[in-house]
Structure 1
Amino acid sequence: MTTIYLVRHGQTYFNRYNRMQGWSDSPLTENGVKDAKRVGEVFKNIKFAYAASSDANRARNTAQIILDYNLANPPKLVEIPNFRECFYGYFEGMNSPETWLLTAHQAGYRTFNDLVTNFDLDYAKDLMHQADPFHEAETADQYWQRLDKAFEFLAKQVSFTSSDPVLLVTHGTTIRSIVGRYSSEKQFDLTDPPRNGSITTIEMNQNRQIKVKDYNKLKI
């Protein structure tokens, strides 16, 4: 099993303003840069076998700051586009609570956490697709086809005989979705979003079987 550290990117302006940010991409705030530097301090003596991020600037820039702090001959950063955030279609850039009120209302609820508590993250994705007047927000099936390709690509790059871990900087809903899919029921509270600059630890073998070891931590 290879250890993969999933890091959520640093705070962005859309995070600060509580707006939907999937494929849209706002810059890191000053606090977002501090988030990345804090993670860099945590990982500065870790020898990474591989380092990757999504192709979003917020993830790429966070990852590069982390690697700039690393003292253990860090690898060159590789972008894996399929690890980008869920696409929110028509709702990109919109106010998050208002978006989830409109989405959850279809099922008789009001918030994102209502959907996660009573259903799951995949149901929330499909409900948003229905609420999108253009029906371009990603469905759960579309999302997982993309994420499965991302993990397939990553598995081909990693030497599973090495004990050195992998750094992967990605996104909040993506991290929550991975944890929701590969952890046991109620193992982690997915109504608690991964903090900017938080670390989630998973393990993956050569058959792409995944186990979640820890979620939403600031240290390892």
Structure 2
Amino acid sequence: MNDKKIVLYIVRHGQTLFNKFLRMQGYCDAPLTPEGIEVAEYAAEGMKDIKFSAAYSSTSERAADTALILLQERELDLTMLKDLKEMFFGDLEGEKSATVKKEHPGLIEKLHAGRKDFKFPNGESIDDLVERQKRAYDEIIEENRETGGNILVVSHGTSILNFLRTVKPDIEIKEQIPNCSANIVTWEDGKFTVEDFGITKYIEKGREIMKESSRA
């Protein structure tokens, strides 16, 4: 079998109401805000010149809706994978971030540090998250290894971050991955490589194009 190079464009979903009001959002879901939709449209415009051969998203509405915006005007089906969902925050689903920091001091910091033994109360551990992320990306690669090309994947901040860390353990990401930013990961000769992460150039490019168009 002659496997071909795959370039994954892994995009975090657009801003949601829970993002806006700083609530914990894992398996629970919230709709995209008007700003979230607008930024996704900018990203779609900015990525217009990228030819995607396949597209995937998590089964959460916020990810699927973002993916559909990014795919507008493209004749490409969207495949949804449950394993691409965000981490399950257990008892803290939907809770205000400020309340979590007050009642569970150090918990959020441990999450961001990516400690393998970290687990939310009655929730998911990072090990569990990493395992199902691996299943998702292995499935994506298996379905596309003979055709290769660029593949769009829309997922979630913590899920994306921990996948990147499995590929590049020494990666330094100190802030939350921005909504609708792209993370570029290649797969070649059976190996994943992180090429770039948290990039917003497609959003910025699309914003400029759409502003110029509105002035015309």
TM-score (norm 1): 0.82
Q: 1:206 to 1:160 in 2, by over 3 A?
A: farther
Supply the distance in 2 between the matched residues of 1:3 and 1:200 (Cα, whole angstroms): 10
SS in 2 for 1:37: helix
Matching of residue 217 in structure 1 with residue 199 in structure 2: yes
Count of aligned positions: 198
Which consecutive residues of structure 1, in runs of 5 or more, have no partner in the other structure? Answer: none
Correspondence list, 1:56-135, <5 A:
56-70=60-74, 74-103=75-104, 105=105, 110=106, 112=108, 114-115=109-110, 120-123=113-116, 126-129=117-120, 132=121, 135=122
Quick check: 2:87–2:129 contact (8 Å CA) kept in 1? yes
Supply the distance in 2 between the matched residues of 1:15 and 1:97 (Cα, whole angstroms): 13
Letter in 1 for 2:192: I
Identify the residue that residue 173 of structure 1 maps to in structure 2: 158
Q: 1:141 to 1:6 in 2, by over 3 A?
A: same
1:57 Cα deviation after fit: 0.4
Quick check: 2:110–2:118 contact (8 Å CA) kept in 1? no
Deviations 1:66-120 (A, max 9, x none): 10044xxx421110110000000110000123324544x3xxxx363x4367xx3
Identical amino acids, percent of aligned pairs? 29
Matching of residue 148 in structure 1 with residue 134 in structure 2: yes
Letter in 2 for 1:50: A
1:159 Cα deviation after fit: 3.1
Supply the distance in 2 between the matched residues of 1:202 and 1:167 (Cα, whole angstroms): 11
Q: Determine which structure has greater relative contact order: mean sequence separation of CA pairs < 8 Å that are 6+ residues apart, divided by chain length.
A: 2
Q: 1:213 to 1:100 in 2, by over 3 A?
A: farther
Letter in 1 for 2:185: I
1:217 Cα deviation after fit: 0.7
Task: Name the Cα RMSD after superposition.
Answer: 2.0
Which of 153, 170, 175 is the matching residue for 1:192?
A: 175
Letter in 1 for 2:110: L
Which consecutive residues of structure 2, in runs of 5 or more, have no partner in the other structure? Answer: 203-216
Quick check: 2:26–2:89 contact (8 Å CA) kept in 1? yes
Q: 1:160 to 1:42 in 2, by over 3 A?
A: farther
Letter in 2 for 1:210: F
Matching of residue 45 in structure 1 with residue 49 in structure 2: yes
SS in 1 for 2:193: strand
Greater shift after overlay, 42-51 or 23-32? 42-51
Quick check: 1:101–1:111 contact (8 Å CA) kept in 2? no
TM-score (norm 2): 0.84
1:160 Cα deviation after fit: 4.7
Supply the distance in 2 between the matched residues of 1:23 and 1:154 (Cα, whole angstroms): 21
Identify the residue that residue 144 of structure 2 maps to in structure 1: 158
